[in-house]
Amino acid sequence: TALPAAHPLASGRTAQSPLVRALRGDRPETLPVWFMRQAGRSLPEYRELRVGTQMLDACLDPELSSEITLQPVRRHRVDAGIFFSDIVVPVKLAGVGVEIVPGRGPVLDAPLRTRDDIARLEPLDPAALQPIAEGVERTVQELGETPLIGFAGAPFTLAAYLVEGGPSKDHIRARTLMHADPETWDALMTWAADTTGAFLRAQVLAGASAAQLFDSWVGSLSLSDYTRLVAPYSARALSHIDGLDVPRIHFGVGSGEVLAAMRDVGTDAVGVDWRIPLDEASRRLGGRTVVQGNIDPALLQAPWSVLEAHVRDVVERGRAAPAHVLNLGHGVNPDTDPTVLTRIVELAHTL
Ligand code: CP3
C-alpha cells in the first residue's frame, strides 16, 4: 500500500510544512515547534470540554478528540497537531480492562503477569479503530496545511503498564519477566507491537503526516536489554507503517544510553529528553540524525528571562544536528501557564 491520494502528505498539502521538511532533514526558514501534551489540562478550554467525560471515552469520540486536538493549534499556533488519544487506547480496543485514573495514569483491572494471562490476549480487530480514523479525518480537514502527528506507545512502555498493572517507578516486574520467562515476554511484546502498530497505521492512513513512537519508560533499561529484548518489537510495531511514506520520530525519557539504538529501529528523528544537551545528543547519533526537543518542562514555571535564555540555548545546540524540531524534553505539566507556551512559539518563529 501507499498513502491514499487524498492524504495531506501525498496530495502535497503538508509536504512543504516546516515540520515535515525538518523531519526529512531540511532547515526550513521557520524553526518548527510543537509540545508533547500540548492538548490537555494546561488548557482551560480542554478542562471545560472534558467535564463529565472519562479520558478514554473522550478518546473514542471523534468529535471530541478532533476538537481537543485542534485547541492548542489554534491557541499557540504550533507547527503541528498531535492527535488527542492515549497509548492505552488500542489496548482497550483489543478488550483489555484499562482506565486512566486522573493524576495517576493508566490502571488495569488486573495486571498481566503469567503465561496464561498473556495467552488470553486477543488480537485487535481493525474495525474497532474506526473512531480513531474518523477523529483523524475530521482533524486533518480542519488543519489544512498544518500537519497532524499520529502516535503510538512502544511495546516496552505498554508492557510496563500491562505487567505492573499501572504506573510504576522502575518497571521491575516487566524487567524481571523479560529475563525470567523469555517466551512469555516474546508473546507479550509481539502482541503489544501488533496492537500498537495497528493503531499507528490507522492514524497514518486516515491523514497523519508524521508518526511518533513513544517509548517513555525506556530509560529503565540497559543498552543490552534494550537492543536484544525491546528494540526488535519496536521495529515490528513500526513495520505496520512500512510503505506509508511519513517521517517517523522516536522518543524516550532518560534515553541517553540508548539514543542511537532507538534511531536504529527505523526512525528519521529522535526525541531527546532534557537530561542531555542537543549537541551532545547529536554527537551520540553520529551527527546524521534529526533531533527533536528538549526544553526542560521545569523551566516553563521559571521567570520568562530564564526560560527565554534556555530556549535560545536549546535552539543553538540544535544546530549541531542536520535539522531540529523544537519541543519539550517531556510533556507539558498540567499547572503550566499556557500563555508561556504561546510565547515560546512566537520566539521560535523569530529565531
Ligand atoms: O497532546 C498530546 O500530547 C496528545 C495526547 C497524548 C495523551 N497521552 C493524552 C493524555 C499523548 C501523546 C499521550 C501519550 C502517553 N500516555 C504517554 C507517552 C508520552 C509521555 O507522556 O511519556 C504515556 C506514558 C501515557 C500514559 C498516560 N496517560 C499518563 C502517564 C497519563 C497522565 C496521568 C495524569 O493524569 O497525570 C495519561 C493520561 C492522559 N493522557 C492525559 C492526557 C491529556 C491526562 C488525562 C486527563 O486530562 O484527565
Residues 209 and 20 sit within 8 Å (Cβ to Cβ): yes
Catalytic residue among 13, 113, 161, 194: 161
What is the average pLDDT value for the chain, to the nearest integer? 97
Note if 236 is an active site residue: no
Q: For position 279, what pLDDT does the model report?
A: 98
Q: For position 215, what pLDDT does the model report?
A: 98
Ligand 1 centroid from CA 102, angstroms: 10
In sign, the C-alpha dihedral spanning 49, 51, 53, 54 is: positive
With a cut of 90, say whether residue 1 has pLDDT above it: no
Ligand 1 centroid from CA 209, angstroms: 21
Q: For position 39, what pLDDT does the model report?
A: 95
Report how far residue 219's alpha carbon sits from residue 295's, in angstroms, rounded to the nearest whole number. Answer: 18
Overall average pLDDT of the 71-89 stretch: 98
Residues 93 and 164 sit within 8 Å (Cβ to Cβ): no
Catalytic residue among 86, 194, 215, 273: 86
Q: For position 19, what pLDDT does the model report?
A: 98
Q: Find the largest Cα–Cα distance for the chain.
A: 56
With a cut of 90, say whether residue 136 has pLDDT above it: yes
Q: For position 98, what pLDDT does the model report?
A: 97
Per-residue pLDDT band for 47 (boundaries 50, 70, 90) equals very high
Residue nearest ligand 1's atom 41 by CA: 40
Q: For position 50, what pLDDT does the model report?
A: 94
Catalytic residue among 13, 21, 46, 50: 50
Q: For position 180, what pLDDT does the model report?
A: 97
Q: For position 30, what pLDDT does the model report?
A: 96
Residue nearest ligand 1's atom 5 by CA: 84
Q: What is the DSSP string of 272-284?
A: --TTS-HHHHHHH
What separation in angstroms does the CA of 110 have from each of 125, 229, 256? 22, 24, 33
Which numbered atom of ligand 1 lies nearest the CA of 41? 47
Residue nearest ligand 1's atom 37 by CA: 105
Per-residue pLDDT band for 249 (boundaries 50, 70, 90) equals very high
Q: Which three cell numbers stand for residue 292?
A: 527533536
With a cut of 80, say whether residue 190 has pLDDT above it: yes
Residue nearest ligand 1's atom 25 by CA: 87
Residues 99 and 166 sit within 8 Å (Cβ to Cβ): no
Q: For position 116, what pLDDT does the model report?
A: 96
Residue nearest ligand 1's atom 22 by CA: 216
Catalytic residue among 37, 275, 283, 343: 37
Q: For position 49, what pLDDT does the model report?
A: 95
Report how far residue 233's alpha carbon sits from residue 152's, in angstroms, rounded to the nearest whole number. Answer: 13
The ipTM is: 0.94
Per-residue pLDDT band for 165 (boundaries 50, 70, 90) equals very high
316 Cβ partners below 8 Å, 6+ apart?
none
With a cut of 90, say whether residue 198 has pLDDT above it: yes
Per-residue pLDDT band for 148 (boundaries 50, 70, 90) equals very high
Reported as type and span, the H/E element at residue 198 is helix 182-206
Ligand 1 centroid from CA 37, angstroms: 7
Residues within 6 Å of ligand 1 by CB:
36-41, 50, 55, 82, 84-87, 100, 102-106, 151, 157, 214, 216, 331
The conformation of residue 97, written as its DSSP 8-state character, comes to -
With a cut of 80, say whether residue 134 has pLDDT above it: yes
Note if 233 is an active site residue: no
Note if 228 is an active site residue: no
Per-residue pLDDT band for 257 (boundaries 50, 70, 90) equals very high
pLDDT in tens, 284-327: 999 999 999 999 999 999 999 999 999 999 999 999 999 999 99
Ligand 1 centroid from CA 311, angstroms: 24
Q: For position 151, what pLDDT does the model report?
A: 98
Indicate the fold that domain 18-348 takes in CATH: TIM Barrel (3.20.20)
